[in-house]
Structure 1
Amino acid sequence: MMQVRSRFLSPVSVFGALCVGLGVHAQQAPQQPAAQPPRPAMQMPAPTPNDTLKSVEVTPDRHVRFRIWAPNAIEVKLHAEGPEATPGITPEETGKYMAGVPLTKGDQGVWEATIGPIEPGMYRYTFTVDGVSTTDPRNPLTSQSLTHASSMYEVPGADFMEYKAGVPHGVIATIYYDSSATGGQRRMHVYTPPGYENGSARLPVLYLLHGGGDSDDSWPTVGRAGAILDNLIASGKAVPMLIVMPAGHVSTDFRLTPGARMGHDAFNDDLVKVVLPYIDAHYRTVADRDHRAIAGLSMGGLQTLNIALDDSSDFAYVGVFSSGWFPNAIKEEQDTDVAQYRASGKPFRLFWVDAGKYDIALQNSHATVAVLKDAGIHVEEHESGGFHAWPNWRDYLHQFAALVFKSPEAQ
């Protein structure tokens, strides 16, 4: 008789097989990840002379040595402020620096040049490497102009403009605001004197304007406005005040507004109708003309002239640094801004003008003063030594800030 095997397993057999299967699975070792190739060791860049390069160095005799590492360069030049502050230098000698000072290449690809002696102060410079202008890659100290940045160096010894230990320091804030006069957002810098944050007193305001091609960053950096005021206030030579340093250009290009005379564009309305109310609304100011001053250098001096004459009801103190109307514009100014002042202007407490012996604006300054005096304005006119340059403008601010908000009688 044939035996037939059943295709079905008993429950006991199934259970046993399942347990065996599970047991075998549980005892299998976990799968190991595939071996990874060893990671290469971190490679540090090879050392170069640039790693420890001291790119700008002032010697005890006030000569300044500049260096830049550019091993593959063909030609390197230095463009530096400062030669105009060399004692006894002539205009002809300063002109030689306009094209740049050639640097000499050393064995390790370090280029070098020395200038001086340079009078104590703060100065700007750039390098030109094979035709490309650049800041100093080894110097983080910079100053912004309208279209570029420059590196800075300092020759110690200018006591009135140094940040000194033991002297309380004010604060310079960067302020962004919307301007209905120019459209869009604009920037200005505002200096508040030491102790302002914890005080309650209302203060006078100096509106301080930069020159053509510069920016609202110029007076706070290369102009040393903050340190100058810190030292004046600490010595009792100036009253505590705010300094408002707006952006004088209304375009990112250094050009005049088409159809507008220099000093006559949307900036004037921006300052008087936007910035001035903003400052009075956001800071503790004395909001009247006797507690407002306006001053500017070069292009900013032209803006100062026109705004002061058109808005004499807003400013009692005026400072014009290295500036004046161009000869071909004087007749038009006499017929417009000067005529408006003659008709409705208020007397100024101080109208202070200065320009250097070798200043390119000196003759314009003299001619402008003659027009102002003919209009009945009492002008305190000065002629310093020096050029159309920051050594003069810092000194002018130092003198002017010590005079404002003190005159007892209108002039």
Structure 2
Amino acid sequence: MKVKFLAVVLMAILISGISNAQAIKEDFKPSTYNQPLSQYPQVNSQGYARFRIFAPKADSMRVTLGLGGQGGTVLKKGADGYFTGTTAGPMDEGFHYYHLITDGGVFNDPGTLNFYGSVRWESGIEIPAHDQDFYALKNVPHGKVQQVLFPSPSTGEPRRAFVYTPPGYDKSAVKYPVLYLQHGWGEDETAWSNQGHANLIMDNMIAAKKVKPFIIVMTYGMTNRSVRVNGVRQFAVDTFKTVLLKELVPYVDANFRTIATRNGRAMAGLSMGGRETKEITLANPEVFAYWGLLSGGEYAPADLKGKMKPKFLFISAGSKEDRSKTIPKAETDLKAAGYNVATYISNATAHEFQTWRRSLLVMAPLLFK
């Protein structure tokens, strides 16, 4: 009986494996981030990703993108010298970093564009999302994202920021509030406009009259050089706080038409940028009136006790993140203590840019009320 039972189980597993393989739809299309004329990587309507890379002299290749706990996707070499493989299952919607492990070395996929993350330029792939329309490039008035270089005596070198100004900024005399929006660990000041599409999200909401136009300032937050070697645990906010408060904010107020008051400023950040935001806003509540943590921790009444009261708090995370389970209590506690707070949980996403794109979409209309 045991032998028969085992045979039945094995047959069921085999049939299940065949069924799953057959269930993959062969409607793969090149990723939107591919290099010109590159056909791979590709994604299908279910969220699977497929890779094909020419490396005739290589012996092994693995793509770090794949289902959790499986070490990525192993590519198989064909007689034509191409390594090919498909993820074992569908990926979360949105943007993902990845790289190749080829014969033990780390390389980028030559078929796709590179994005700064994990303290290096990584390959990137976009899994089309069901709600991608809110960050799509549309025929609407567009703002500008411009690079600015500002002096930084505290670090002894010029620093860079990217500044989004809303549509019509150049043709008016209106003063705008400002959101200082920080990237995560291993990323830089390009992340929110490249990976996050913050400018397109704002353009689309402004065109739909869903948000009050404001300026967004994005700068490099990893001023502590040791973090590049020792990781995020060695990161200290103090140096960046000096850059932000003593150098960048005055520069922006002097060079852009801003509402240069506490009520005209917000600060928010994702992941490590949320840690920066939390520490800086709590230590300097007189500078920013609106505070946002995107997968970057939570505020609690005890944190805020005795401090200048923020006008608004925002806390978010992906539903696949552990902190999504603690956010509801944080909201309840803050509201009971008399704080104006809103929270958001991004459905079916983890610690990734689709969570943060959606978070910006929800947070932005609530700022500067």
TM-score category (smaller protein): 0.7 to 0.9
**Alignment partner for residue 94 of structure 1, among 68, 84, 98?**
68
Counterpart of 1:117? 90
- For 1:143-222, list aligned pairs within 5 A: 143-145=115-117, 147-157=119-129, 158-164=132-138, 166-222=139-195
Check the 8 A contact 1:55/1:136 in 2, yes or no.
Answer: no
- Once the two structures are overlaid, the 10-residue window that deviates more, 277-286 or 173-182, is 173-182
**Alignment partner for residue 305 of structure 2, among 308, 322, 342?**
342
State the secondary structure of the residue aligned to 1:216: coil
State the secondary structure of the residue aligned to 1:108: coil
Counterpart of 1:402? 365
Counterpart of 1:69? 54
CA separation of 1:75 and 1:126: change in aligned 2, threshold 3 A: same
Counterpart of 1:359? 321
**Alignment partner for residue 224 of structure 1, among 197, 200, 209?**
197
Structure 1 CA distance for aligned equivalents of residues 227 and 276 of structure 2: 15
Counterpart of 1:278? 251
State the secondary structure of the residue aligned to 1:219: helix
Count the aligned residue pairs. 330
Check the 8 A contact 1:257/1:265 in 2, yes or no.
Answer: no
State the secondary structure of the residue aligned to 1:197: helix
Greater C-alpha Rg:
1
Check the 8 A contact 2:96/2:352 in 1, yes or no.
Answer: no
Tell me the C-alpha RMSD between the 2 structures.
3.1
Check the 8 A contact 2:177/2:264 in 1, yes or no.
Answer: yes
CA separation of 1:72 and 1:255: change in aligned 2, threshold 3 A: closer
- Once the two structures are overlaid, the 10-residue window that deviates more, 290-299 or 345-354, is 345-354
Gaps of 5+ in 1: 1-49, 84-92, 407-411
State the secondary structure of the residue aligned to 1:405: coil
State the secondary structure of the residue aligned to 2:194: coil
Structure 2 letter corresponding to 1:126: H
Structure 2 letter corresponding to 1:193: P
Structure 2 CA distance for aligned equivalents of residues 236 and 193 of structure 1: 13
Counterpart of 1:39? none
Check the 8 A contact 1:263/1:302 in 2, yes or no.
Answer: no
Counterpart of 2:20? none
Structure 2 letter corresponding to 1:123: H
Check the 8 A contact 1:293/1:317 in 2, yes or no.
Answer: yes
Q: TM-score, normalised to structure 2's length?
A: 0.79
Structure 2 CA distance for aligned equivalents of residues 358 and 156 of structure 1: 18
Structure 2 CA distance for aligned equivalents of residues 269 and 372 of structure 1: 29
Check the 8 A contact 2:293/2:315 in 1, yes or no.
Answer: yes
Q: Deviations over 1:229-283 (max 9, x none)?
A: 111111111111111111110144535999x985632111211111111111111
Structure 1 CA distance for aligned equivalents of residues 208 and 36 of structure 2: 42
Check the 8 A contact 2:346/2:358 in 1, yes or no.
Answer: no
Q: CA deviation at 1:105?
A: 1.3
Check the 8 A contact 1:264/1:306 in 2, yes or no.
Answer: yes
CA separation of 1:269 and 1:255: change in aligned 2, threshold 3 A: same
CA separation of 1:257 and 1:138: change in aligned 2, threshold 3 A: closer
State the secondary structure of the residue aligned to 2:170: coil
Q: Deviations over 1:336-355 (max 9, x none)?
A: xx3xx534x32222101112
Q: CA deviation at 1:289?
A: 1.4
Structure 1 letter corresponding to 2:82: V
CA separation of 1:342 and 1:219: change in aligned 2, threshold 3 A: same
Structure 2 CA distance for aligned equivalents of residues 60 and 348 of structure 1: 43
Q: CA deviation at 1:378?
A: 4.0
Structure 2 CA distance for aligned equivalents of residues 280 and 249 of structure 1: 23
State the secondary structure of the residue aligned to 2:260: coil
Structure 2 CA distance for aligned equivalents of residues 252 and 262 of structure 1: 8
Q: Deviations over 1:126-171 (max 9, x none)?
A: 22222222222233x221236311222334451111212x122222
Gaps of 5+ in 2: 1-34
Q: TM-score, normalised to structure 1's length?
A: 0.72
Counterpart of 2:341? 379
CA separation of 1:275 and 1:120: change in aligned 2, threshold 3 A: same
Check the 8 A contact 1:126/1:135 in 2, yes or no.
Answer: yes
Check the 8 A contact 1:61/1:117 in 2, yes or no.
Answer: yes
Structure 1 CA distance for aligned equivalents of residues 333 and 182 of structure 2: 22
User: What fraction of aligned residue pairs are identical, expressed as a percent?
Assistant: 35
Structure 2 letter corresponding to 1:71: P
Structure 1 CA distance for aligned equivalents of residues 251 and 229 of structure 2: 26
